[in-house]
A and B are shown apart, each in its own frame.
Chain A
């Protein structure tokens, strides 16, 4: 599968590969993290979230990993499909404050 070390604006993978999208956050007090998928012309769609008392959470074909030591969040998509092509955003939040969105990563899946 394809992975990126630090945030990259684009990621291209082949259908069936596993994708890993990375996100670095800055606020060590953040206690809630969330990933969104945004398709062209649409609003962001919730994918998965995780709280700071966890380091891994799994959904359907997606896994979010949280490394609080290095303030790093990643989204893993298993068996990537063409329908997964979109822009993916991570967001962080400190309790009592608003969500802060990161720069998006455009995932392109080719058949």
Chain B
């Protein structure tokens, strides 16, 4: 069982609000990832980090930003949420193997 946590699980907010989605893992994994997934669709990588103070953009353009100040924590921030940001956001981590372990996801709805 993977020890990776995401909060909140569900979030409904108004347009223009700033939000931060939290992701933490207790496995000591160096690599962490954020994916965006629309219902029933494939996952798209939006950000990743291979270690503290390392962050990169993924394949899918995103208006979000991330930070990696501590190994276990990889928060994702939207400065000004819009309805087009409505989606599920999944956090994952991996260690010395290539296997990525996922959190339960945050379902974001922007009104």
List the interface of chain A (C-beta within 8 A of B): 32, 34, 36, 41-46, 49, 87, 89, 93, 98-104, 106
Q: Are A42's CB and B42's CB within 8 A?
A: no
- Structural contact, A101 and B40, CB atoms closer than 8 A: no
Q: Inside 8 A of B99's CB, which chain A residues have their CB?
A: 34, 46, 49
Interface residues of B (CB under 8 A from A): 2, 6, 33, 35, 40-45, 48, 58-59, 90, 92, 98-105, 107
Docked-complex contact B102 and A45, CB < 8 angstroms: yes
B92: chain A residues at CB < 8 Å are 43
Task: Say yes or no: B45 contacts A99, CB within 8 Å.
Answer: yes
B residues within 8 A CB of A104?
A: 40-42
With A49-B98, A93-B98 as known contacts, state yes or no: A43 contacts B103, CB within 8 Å: yes
Besides A43-B103, A103-B42, 6 other A-B contacts (C-beta < 8 A): A34-B99, A46-B99, A98-B58, A100-B59, A101-B42, A103-B41
